[in-house]
Structure 1
Amino acid sequence: MAKLTHLNAQGEAHMVDVGAKANSQREARAEAYVCMAAATLALITGGGHKKGDVLAVARIAGIQAAKKCADLIPLCHPLMLTHIKVALTPEPERSRVRIESCCKLVGQTGVEMEALTAASVAALTLYDMCKAVDKNMVITGARVLEKSGGKSGHYVADTEAHHD
């Protein structure tokens, strides 16, 4: 098993020194889901929510969150992201919204946390905007789908490991 990189020899948390690492093109994609009542999803997709365009607000929140990841996760490096995309896709057949994020940069450390933060905060924003009409919503399935770049190379999530 690999050792935890954010702990030093004494077991103390620290930020990893990436100064000697080479710059490379890095990308990560993540997803999350917000499960809800069919009527809630219909309200969102029909544009009838009194708070406005729920999906647009959640998308912007996700983008903002990726840019603020280092402020939220204590040991994350502040990164100069070159691309952030957050897509929210209603899935009426499963009574949920799927959120997928993608973050890119050229740098010395990966962007998995930024992608996860984008998807998670978009889900939280959707929840916040709809909680008055559906208190039984569930946020689920937050995970990294894929990452590329850096020494550890390309990773693609095992689709069999996803339980929703």
Structure 2
Amino acid sequence: MNNTANSFTHIDTETNYPTMVDVSNKQMTKRTAIAQSIIVLGEEVIKHLNGNDIQTKKGPVFQTAIIAGTMAAKKTADLIPLCHPLALESVKIDIGINSQQEVVVECIAVITSKTGVEMEALTGASIAALTIYDMCKAFSHDIVIKETKLMQKTGGKSDYSGR
């Protein structure tokens, strides 16, 4: 495979077919990725906030979203075809309310490996946000998952900070 700096990493430049990136020659390093999703629940839903969570007939929303996001991060390679299956060392999801009364989901994924964990962090944050939507839609469908983005990554060839 002949990838250059300006080509897509998941396309074999000789055959033009999709391929999993060959990480066999990369160094094992500690790699961390932080992703964030922001959900706008609206007043109809946010009024059900009691302490640090929203209680529904389905159970505690944020606690359930944390479990769902963690499970999703561990299953990323099953969901995204060219992702490497990874044995994550840590997945931590925090959920809180910001000053604009939006729900902020932060997912931190950590591994010592030859490949990064950005997709795992993004998947964890995304599925946690979708779980919040699912559990709150009985109160209102005026819920918007405003954004999901990579906030930071460390380890490997380069670091990134989008904060």
Does 2:134 correspond to 1:128? yes
Q: What is the root-mean-square deviation of aligned Cα atoms in Å?
A: 1.4
Taking a change above 3 Å as real, the CA distance of residues 82 and 48 of structure 1, as seen in their structure-2 partners, is closer
Answer yes or no: is the 8 Å Cα contact 1:44–1:54 preserved in 2.
no
Taking a change above 3 Å as real, the CA distance of residues 104 and 48 of structure 1, as seen in their structure-2 partners, is closer
* C-alpha deviation, 1:140, in angstroms: 1.7
* C-alpha deviation, 1:11, in angstroms: 2.1
> When you count helix as a share of all residues, which structure comes out higher?
1
**Which of 37, 42, 54 in structure 1 is aligned with 2:42?**
37
* C-alpha deviation, 1:42, in angstroms: 2.5
**Which of 65, 76, 79 in structure 2 is aligned with 1:58?**
65
For residues 118 and 48 of structure 1, the distance between their equivalents in structure 2, rounded to whole angstroms, comes to 21
Answer yes or no: is the 8 Å Cα contact 1:32–1:143 preserved in 2.
yes
Letter in 2 for 1:142: T
Letter in 2 for 1:96: E
For residues 50 and 79 of structure 2, the distance between their equivalents in structure 1, rounded to whole angstroms, comes to 30
Taking a change above 3 Å as real, the CA distance of residues 150 and 44 of structure 1, as seen in their structure-2 partners, is same
* TM-score, normalised by the number of residues in structure 2: 0.90
Residue ranges of structure 1 left out of the alignment (5+ in a row): 160-164
Does 2:108 correspond to 1:102? yes
Answer yes or no: is the 8 Å Cα contact 1:27–1:148 preserved in 2.
yes
User: What residue is the counterpart of 1:26 in the other structure?
Assistant: 31
Query: 1:78-93 maps to which residues of 2 (within 5 A)?
Result: 78-91=85-98, 93=99
* C-alpha deviation, 1:113, in angstroms: 0.1
The number of equivalent residue pairs is 156
Answer yes or no: is the 8 Å Cα contact 1:32–1:99 preserved in 2.
yes
Answer yes or no: is the 8 Å Cα contact 2:55–2:61 preserved in 1.
no
* TM-score, normalised by the number of residues in structure 1: 0.90
For residues 125 and 48 of structure 1, the distance between their equivalents in structure 2, rounded to whole angstroms, comes to 13
For residues 59 and 33 of structure 2, the distance between their equivalents in structure 1, rounded to whole angstroms, comes to 30
Taking a change above 3 Å as real, the CA distance of residues 51 and 44 of structure 1, as seen in their structure-2 partners, is farther
User: What residue is the counterpart of 1:69 in the other structure?
Assistant: 76
| Partner SS state of residue 135, structure 2 | helix
For residues 45 and 76 of structure 1, the distance between their equivalents in structure 2, rounded to whole angstroms, comes to 38
Taking a change above 3 Å as real, the CA distance of residues 48 and 56 of structure 1, as seen in their structure-2 partners, is closer
Residue ranges of structure 2 left out of the alignment (5+ in a row): none
